[in-house]
Amino acid sequence: MANELALKYGCNPNQKPSRIFMKDGKELPITVLNGKPGYINFLDAFNSWQLVKELKAALHLPAAASFKHVSPAGAAVAVPMSDTLKKIYFVDDLELSPLATAYARARGADRMSSYGDFIALSEVCDKETAKLIAREVSDGVIAPGYTEEALEILKGKRKGSYNVIQIDESYTPAPIEHKDCYGITFEQGRNELKIDEEMLQNIVTENKTLSEEAKRDLVISLITLKYTQSNSVCYAKDGQAIGIGAGQQSRIHCTRLAGNKADIWWLRQHPKVLALPFKEKIRRADRDNTIDVYISDDYEDVLADGMWEQFFTVKPEPLSREEKKEWLSKLTGVSLGSDAFFPFGDNIERAHRSGVEFIAQPGGSIRDDNVIDTCNKYHMTMAFTGIRLFHH
């Protein structure tokens, strides 16, 4: 280890010089085992590592995250998967360890956004997880260690240039952090807030029901939000994030964005989607893109253009709006976290359309009564955490 690592450039090729270093002269808590990670790679690596470390500590399960541009595309813990999920995540042909299961879930939540991701793993990377990573398009991975077999597999990825970072699991950052903007240094205390089920005790709705699964999923959503560029909301179900809306100026826009992603996650499980007659040897990325088009309202226009012939053996019947609406009505038990208060009940109305039954948010809006009333209309359970989770 060293206390400084020179980088090729910063966010963009014109931003030179670039490096990461420890201001106190101590050694960096990471070792680059393969490749040459860049500036954005390290931002993704360090943010995502914190996320999975906290998920593991809170839920006592292996955790994984898929990061793009310093926000998670997906995050999950090792909850066993159904055969349907294994199929839509393209892992039904693999043997999955608990850690590989966590990454399959994190990657599968929003495969379009996860394309070219940076991966964080809470555990020593095993052979099963490395095999899964090896066949996906990804920029790199950070973990507390790698088995010999796993490291050998990962070193063979991207013609030997795949970025593999090992982090010291015992590393504790300084309590005060700094950031420069326009030549001016900002200073703040690190966000050391511990997120767990204790934050969910102040239930403000008429419905007080909060299952163990809902508590787990709300914790996942809140920890995910802690490392997502604000404004942000996170829909979670079955041990994973299923829709993340990051970096929006309006809260209703991130609620819609994340809700649309959750809807796509659910629509990918529709029997018609599962039965799409893809040609052999169609790449997973092309399947993802085609499935998204098939689910969209534009699909019939694409059919008319004859583009289906590139991917399908026969012309698939469209998924009608009525079929989509009927299928989406079956999505239930979804949990939703928000990094700041909901200012209006319209966020709840949109969340309801994507099966949300459980909500955790700070509270504190002058319209809290309206938000609570809207939750009560749909028999939702909502907890006020009293804690904002802005991340910039």
Residue-wise pLDDT for 64-87, tens only, equals 999 999 999 999 999 999 999 999
Over range 350-362, report the average pLDDT. Answer: 98
pLDDT at position 306 over 90: no
Q: Supply the pLDDT for residue 93.
A: 95
Q: Supply the pLDDT for residue 302.
A: 73
Q: How far apart are CA 176 and CA 239, in angstroms?
A: 32
Residue-wise pLDDT for 121-167, tens only, equals 999 999 999 999 999 999 999 999 999 999 999 999 999 999 999 99
User: Which letter does DSSP use for residue 42 in this model?
Assistant: H
The CATH class, in words, for 177-267+328-384 is: alpha beta
User: Which letter does DSSP use for residue 269 in this model?
Assistant: T
> 């179900």: which residue's tokens?
237
Q: Is the dihedral of CA 154, 80, 117, 142 positive or negative?
A: negative
- Average pLDDT value for the chain: 95
Over range 164-189, report the average pLDDT. Answer: 96
Q: How far apart are CA 138 and CA 119, in angstroms?
A: 8
Question: Which pair of structure tokens corresponds to residue 353?
Answer: 């359309």
pLDDT at position 1 over 70: no
pLDDT classification of 310: cutoffs 50, 70, 90: confident
Over range 161-181, report the average pLDDT. Answer: 96
pLDDT classification of 33: cutoffs 50, 70, 90: very high
pLDDT at position 297 over 90: no
> 């969209």: which residue's tokens?
296
- Dihedrals phi, psi of 98, to nearest 5 degrees: -55, -40
Q: How far apart are CA 240 and CA 243, in angstroms?
A: 9
For 30, 162, 353, 389, the CA distances from 228, given in Å and listed in that order, are 22, 25, 23, 9
Query: H-type helices in 207-308, by residue range?
Result: 212-226, 251-267, 271-274, 284-295, 299-304
Percent pLDDT > 90 in the chain is 90
CA 171 vs. chain centroid, Å, equals: 24
* Beta strands 184-189 and 232-237, pairing class: unpaired
* Beta strands 117-121 and 63-68, pairing class: antiparallel
pLDDT at position 228 over 90: yes
pLDDT at position 99 over 80: yes
Report the CATH fold assignment for 4-172: Cytidine Deaminase; domain 2 (3.40.140)
Q: How far apart are CA 356 and CA 333, in angstroms?
A: 6
Q: How far apart are CA 324 and CA 105, in angstroms?
A: 23
The predicted model scores a pTM of 0.96
Over range 308-334, report the average pLDDT. Answer: 93
Q: Supply the pLDDT for residue 27.
A: 94
Q: Supply the pLDDT for residue 304.
A: 66
User: Is residue 121 classed as helix, strand or coil in its secondary structure?
Assistant: strand
pLDDT at position 2 over 90: no
Q: 265 and 242 in contact (C-beta within 8 Å)?
A: yes
pLDDT at position 303 over 90: no
298 contact partners, CB below 8 Å, separation of at least 6: none
Q: How far apart are CA 386 and CA 388, in angstroms?
A: 7
Q: Where are the beta strands (DSSP E) in 4-79?
A: 4-7, 18-21, 30-34, 63-68, 71-77
Q: 194 and 59 in contact (C-beta within 8 Å)?
A: no
User: Which letter does DSSP use for residue 366 in this model?
Assistant: T
Which residues, in sequence order, are bridge partners of residue 115? none
Closest CA to 63 of 50, 73, 46: 50
Q: Supply the pLDDT for residue 155.
A: 97
Question: Which pair of structure tokens corresponds to residue 301?
Answer: 């226009």
Q: How far apart are CA 24 and CA 178, in angstroms?
A: 13
Question: Which pair of structure tokens corresponds to residue 112?
Answer: 């379009």
Percent pLDDT > 70 in the chain is 99
Catalytic residue IDs: 68-69, 231, 392
Over range 286-311, report the average pLDDT. Answer: 83
pLDDT classification of 24: cutoffs 50, 70, 90: confident
Name the amino acid, one letter, at 73: A
Which residues, in sequence order, are bridge partners of residue 120? 65, 142
Q: 222 and 360 in contact (C-beta within 8 Å)?
A: yes
